[in-house]
Amino acid sequence: MKVYKLFIAIVLVSFAVHGETKTKLPCNSLIECEKKADLTSIHRKKITFLSTGIEEFSKDVNLQLLIPIYLKKIRSIILEANGETGYTGEIVLKVSHKPEYKVTQLKKAEEDLLFLEKNISLCSEDQKKQIEELKTLHHNSQ
């Protein structure tokens, strides 16, 4: 009887663990993630799509193809940290974040900027210009 109860407990735990590990991604490829990010004006959604694309689908991608995605992600992170929502309409929605949240978001943008700076030799002149603009925007946001 104890063995039977132990077996049932193991089966139930196994179902619970396997059921929770499957998380639906917001997109299914790097290209789809970038397209979805481009289709929304909402910075938080852009960040989600672009971060998912980078984290889930960039392992075998040429770094030069990732640079534009990083640039878009950094811009949205900085704007969102500064309270810009990206919502458009009759009223422009702007929010105030707790200082800790803003610091955390700006740190993420800084890490991505450092990554791009380490790979600056792969960037076009326009991308280098964008990086400098983002560095200034980041600096002015602190």
Q: Rounded distance, CA 114 to CA 108, Å?
A: 10
pTM for the full model? Answer: 0.81
Q: What is the model's pLDDT at position 11? A: 47
- Ranges in the chain, pLDDT < 50: 3, 6-7, 9, 11-12, 20-21
Show the tokens assigned to 112. Answer: 């991505």
Q: What is the model's pLDDT at position 6? A: 44
What is the residue extent of each domain of the chain?
28-141
Per the prediction, the chain carries an average pLDDT of 87
